[in-house]
Amino acid sequence: MKLTTGIGGWPGDAPGQAQEAEANGFDMVSCGEIAHDSILTMALAGSQTKKIELMTSVTIAFPRSPMVLAMEAWDIQQLSAGRFNIGLGSQVKGHNERRFGGSWSAAAPRMKEYIQMMKAIWDTWQDGKTADFIGKEYRYTLMTPNFNPGPIEFPRPKIFLAVVGPAMARVAGEVADGILPHGGIMTDRYMRETMLPNIKIGLERSGRTWADIDIGLSGYLALGDSDEEIATSLDKYREPLSFYGSTRSYHHVLRMHDLEDLGLRLHKLSLDGRWQEMRDIITEDDLLKLTETCSYDDFPEFVQQKREYASHMGFGMPTKNEAQKERAKEIMTKLQAVKTTGVPSGMEL
């Protein structure tokens, strides 16, 4: 099992954060794209590290052309000697139109074309194939020698796709190299009953198997060494749940857990700007409907038995003193030794 830790903030801090993660034994660093550019962050992180993998989680795709991201990913892959993975996300209509000043169309078919075009570009650069991709949203029919960087001596960057809906899960199974389940609103039940079956459909459409795709560990999970620590961990889910639960496009997840009414209340409070009240109305019973709990001692076995589909996962434990650092290292080592099948239970191909 590969373990990931996040880096972020001002891009100038990325090299030091990535070096620290590498020294602490993590397999991968990831960065989001909230207030800073994910591509710049990963380029800087890659320039000052030797072996740790790099992942954007995620880069917002539609405000950029596929050519722009194909070029940036190619450059970082060469810079990092083959350690770069690009995670793509669509964002929602409002942000694409009103924050990025861009356009919007049906996200899943557009993302499929986006990934296909990126791969077609790399086919030209690596193998000399003709520029001949024509889709409804994107077209790539021109590549002259001046604009062709040429091949690299490393595997092509893997394209991971953030998923939260069935259509995007099918696209990911069909054309992506990896899956980034939306951690803010993804539960184990929703992952198993909606996401994984639709990923399977996509794999079948493209004639691929589970071995052709890497899936990130998903599901609300509260961890700790004691009941008090688990309760504290559980409480931290109020923040993402209040934010994502207020967005109506995510209410189908809450509906599965009989919490649609909570989502409607959160949505109304968000329209009124009553942000603190959103967090406060979420009860412990609400959280427990969505969240599994586990001790750190049982965590490696939990991952092996209940996240059998996953190949990588985020990891974090308190490291404020030497005892905590040793404890974190112990659990990290055990988790990295976990071998999963990569195949969701009951969904063999």
**Per-residue pLDDT tens over the stretch 104-130:** 999 999 999 999 999 999 999 999 999
Please report, rounded to a whole number, the percentage of residues in the chain having pLDDT higher than 90: 96
User: Mean pLDDT for the chain?
Assistant: 96
**Per-residue pLDDT tens over the stretch 283-294:** 999 999 999 999
**Per-residue pLDDT tens over the stretch 251-276:** 999 999 999 999 999 999 999 999 99
Domain presence at residue 35: yes
Residue corresponding to tokens 């207020």: 246
**pLDDT at position 88:** 98
**Per-residue pLDDT tens over the stretch 9-35:** 999 999 999 999 999 999 999 999 999
Residue 168 has pLDDT above 90, yes or no: yes
Domain presence at residue 311: yes
Residue 328 near residue 225 (C-beta atoms within 8 A) = no
**Per-residue pLDDT tens over the stretch 208-218:** 999 999 999 99
Residue corresponding to tokens 């996953």: 310
**Per-residue pLDDT tens over the stretch 60-106:** 999 999 999 999 999 999 999 999 999 999 998 999 999 999 999 99
pTM higher than 0.85: yes
- Work out the number of other CB atoms within 10 angstroms of the CB of residue 305: 12
**pLDDT at position 46:** 98
CA distances from 344 to 44, 180, 207, 211 (A): 36, 15, 17, 11
Domain presence at residue 291: no
Domain presence at residue 244: no
Domain presence at residue 59: yes
Residue 119 near residue 174 (C-beta atoms within 8 A) = no
Q: CATH code at 45?
A: 3.20.20.30
Range of the structural domain that residue 140 is part of:
2-221+299-336
Q: Which two tokens stand for residue 229?
A: 């620590």
**pLDDT at position 266:** 97
Residue 223 near residue 230 (C-beta atoms within 8 A) = yes
Residue 282 has pLDDT above 90, yes or no: yes
Residue 329 near residue 26 (C-beta atoms within 8 A) = no
Residues contacting residue 338 through CB under 8 Å, at least 6 positions apart? 1, 300, 303, 304
**pLDDT at position 184:** 81
How far, in Å, CA of 3 to CA of 28, rounded? 6
Alpha-helical runs (H) found in the chain: 14-23, 38-47, 66-79, 93-94, 107-127, 166-175, 188-190, 196-205, 227-235, 238-244, 251-256, 260-271, 275-280, 284-290, 299-306, 322-336
Residues contacting residue 53 through CB under 8 Å, at least 6 positions apart? 2, 27, 28, 29, 83, 84, 85
**pLDDT at position 203:** 98
User: Phi/psi class of residue 191: alpha, beta or left (left: φ > 0; alpha: ψ in -120 to 50)?
Assistant: alpha
| Mean pLDDT to the nearest integer, 339-349 | 96
**pLDDT at position 182:** 85
**pLDDT at position 347:** 97
Residue 84 near residue 157 (C-beta atoms within 8 A) = yes
40-49, 167-176, 183-192: which has the minimum mean pLDDT? 183-192
3-state helix/strand/coil string of 290-305: HCEEEECCCHHHHHHH
Residue 56 has pLDDT above 90, yes or no: yes
pLDDT band at 183 (very low <50, low <70, confident <90, very high): confident
Return the C-alpha torsion angle 186, 209, 85, 59, nearest 10.
-40
How far, in Å, CA of 242 to CA of 269, rounded? 10
Count up the domains in the chain and report the number.
Answer: 1
Domain presence at residue 166: yes
Domain presence at residue 208: yes
Domain presence at residue 17: yes
